[in-house]
C-alpha cells in the first residue's frame, strides 16, 4: 500500500555545455549533445558531424566533419536527426522497431543492445513485413493509435546477420564508418509511407531475465502507467529541457497509453530461440484481437 516508484528520463546533464544527453542515444552514438546556438539548436555528434536545427525545427543544416563519409552522414540524418526534428515539431516518435502482424503493427522498444533489431529481423526473415527497426511515428486519430514507420531499415551486428540470414545472405551496406553494424538492403521498396499507417496492436518492452540461464519466454501485461513511462522514455526529443514541449508530449502520450496494449517480454538472447519468441508474440497479439 502507498508506494511510489521512480524512473529517470535523461542520462544526465553537462551544465557546462549541453542541454542534456539524449536518453535515446544508442550505444554507438553516446557522444551526442544538444547545444543552443542563438535561437537555433546545434545537435553535435562528437567527431562526426553537427547539425544546425532552427528553433521551430523547420530547417536542418548538416555540417559533417572531415572523414565523415556519406553513409555516416545519411545514418545520422535518418536515424538520429530527423526523429528528433519530428519530435520537436510535435510528433510522438518512438525509438523502436516494428513488424506487421495480421492487419496491424507490433512494436518493440528497449534499451540499446536489447535485441530490437534482431527480433524485427527475425520476423522479417520468417515472412512478416518489416516496418522499421528504428523509428516509429505514433498517430492518434482520436479512436485508434496508428503507427507510421519512418522508413524500412535494418541495422544489425555481423553476428546477427550471419545467424538470421544464413540461408539467404542479403545485400549489405555499411551503416557508418565508425560502426561494424551493417545495413541490410531489401530487394524491393515497400510502401510504408504515412498513407500506410497501421493500427498499433501492441508494444513489447524487451527485457532480460535476471537469471541469464533462464530459457523461458515470459510475456506480462504492463499497466497504463508503465505504458506512459515507456512511451516517454523512448520518445525522440530534441530539447529535453523544453518544458512546454515535454508537457505536450506527456499529455499526448498519456492520451494514447490507455489504448495501447503493452507487454514486457523477457527471453533468452539465443538465436535458436527466436522462433519461440515470435510464436509467443503472435499468440498474444491474436488472442487480444
Q: Which residues bind other proteins (CB under 8 A)?
A: 1-10, 20, 223-229, 232-233, 240, 243, 246-247, 250-251, 254, 257-258
Closest CB to other proteins among residues 185, 251: 251
Return d(Cα 101, Cα 165) in angstroms, integer.
Answer: 20
Q: How far is the CB of 242 from other proteins (least distance, A)?
A: 10
Instruction: Supply 21's cell numbers.
Output: 544527453
Closest CB to other proteins among residues 145, 280: 145
Return d(Cα 94, Cα 235) in angstroms, integer.
Answer: 4
Instruction: Supply 221's cell numbers.
Output: 501485461
Kindly state the DSSP code that residue 186 receives in the 8-state scheme: P
Closest CB to other proteins among residues 32, 232: 232
Return d(Cα 245, Cα 34) in angstroms, integer.
Answer: 16
Q: How far is the CB of 288 from other proteins (least distance, A)?
A: 17
Closest CB to other proteins among residues 68, 232: 232
Kindly state the DSSP code that residue 223 receives in the 8-state scheme: P
Q: How far is the CB of 220 from other proteins (least distance, A)?
A: 16
Question: In a 3-state reduction of DSSP, which class is residue 116?
Answer: helix
Q: How far is the CB of 250 from other proteins (least distance, A)?
A: 6
* Contact (Cβ atoms closer than 8 angstroms) between residue 84 and residue 137: no
Amino acid at each position: 500500500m502507498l508506494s511510489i516508484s521512480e524512473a529517470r528520463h535523461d542520462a544526465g546533464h553537462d551544465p557546462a555545455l549541453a542541454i542534456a544527453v539524449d536518453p535515446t542515444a544508442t550505444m554507438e552514438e553516446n557522444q551526442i549533445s544538444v547545444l543552443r546556438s542563438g535561437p537555433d539548436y546545434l545537435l553535435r555528434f562528437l567527431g562526426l558531424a553537427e547539425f544546425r536545427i532552427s528553433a521551430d525545427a523547420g530547417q536542418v543544416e548538416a555540417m559533417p566533419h572531415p572523414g565523415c563519409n556519406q553513409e555516416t552522414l545519411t545514418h545520422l540524418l535518418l536515424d538520429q536527426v530527423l526523429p528528433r526534428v519530428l519530435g520537436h515539431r510535435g510528433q510522438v516518435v518512438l525509438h523502436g522497431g516494428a513488424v506487421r502482424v495480421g492487419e496491424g503493427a507490433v512494436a518493440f522498444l528497449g534499451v540499446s543492445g536489447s535485441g530490437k533489431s534482431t527480433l524485427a529481423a527475425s520476423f522479417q526473415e520468417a515472412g512478416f513485413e518489416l516496418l522499421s527497426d528504428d523509428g516509429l511515428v505514433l498517430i492518434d486519430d482520436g479512436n485508434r493509435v496508428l503507427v507510421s514507420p519512418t522508413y524500412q531499415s535494418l541495422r544489425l551486428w555481423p553476428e546477427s546477420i550471419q545467424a538470421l540470414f544464413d540461408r539467404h545472405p542479403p545485400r549489405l551496406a555499411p551503416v557508418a564508418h565508425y560502426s561494424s553494424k551493417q545495413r541490410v538492403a531489401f530487394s524491393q521498396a515497400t510502401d510504408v509511407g504515412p498513407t500506410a499507417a497501421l493500427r498499433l496492436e501492441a508494444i513489447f518492452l524487451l527485457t532480460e531475465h535476471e537469471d541469464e540461464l533462464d530459457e523461458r519466454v515470459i510475456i506480462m501485461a504492463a499497466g497504463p502507467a508503465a505504458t506512459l513511462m515507456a512511451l516517454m522514455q523512448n520518445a525522440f526529443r530534441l530539447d529535453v529541457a523544453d518544458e512546454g514541449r515535454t508537457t505536450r508530449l506527456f499529455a499526448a502520450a498519456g492520451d494514447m497509453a490507455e489504448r495501447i496494449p503493452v507487454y514486457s517480454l523477457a527471453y533468452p538472447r539465443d538465436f535458436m530461440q527466436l522462433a519461440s519468441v515470435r510464436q509467443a508474440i503472435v499468440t498474444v497479439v491474436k488472442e487480444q484481437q
